[in-house]
Structure 1
């Protein structure tokens, strides 16, 4: 199950690729970048929560 922010990025991607086939490489790159940034922010928030909890 994907987190909400990842669903916002990944669910509309096939529809966008179907409408704009010429932009598929660029849209896929943006989707991967958005997914990576979303996961990085989530991991950073988890790290901060553990630091606050245990330090």
Structure 2
């Protein structure tokens, strides 16, 4: 239920109108990246993935299987794109 809340809550997020505006940091991504020592890149990619997939898995690590879009998006090198 909580995962559905995250997906619904952030599905209507607005994009910044210009590059000078600060990026929107979703509360779900802030929590997802709270336990990492690489907070800045984690937040960047989490927000990027949240914007595309309209979801963020529960917890601070793992649980990607909850959302196939978030789980199956990979970098050119084949690694996971979403934290």
Higher-Rg structure is 1
Task: Please give the TM-score of this superposition, normalised by the length of structure 2.
Answer: 0.27
Greater relative CO, 1 or 2 (CA 8 Å, sep 6+): 1
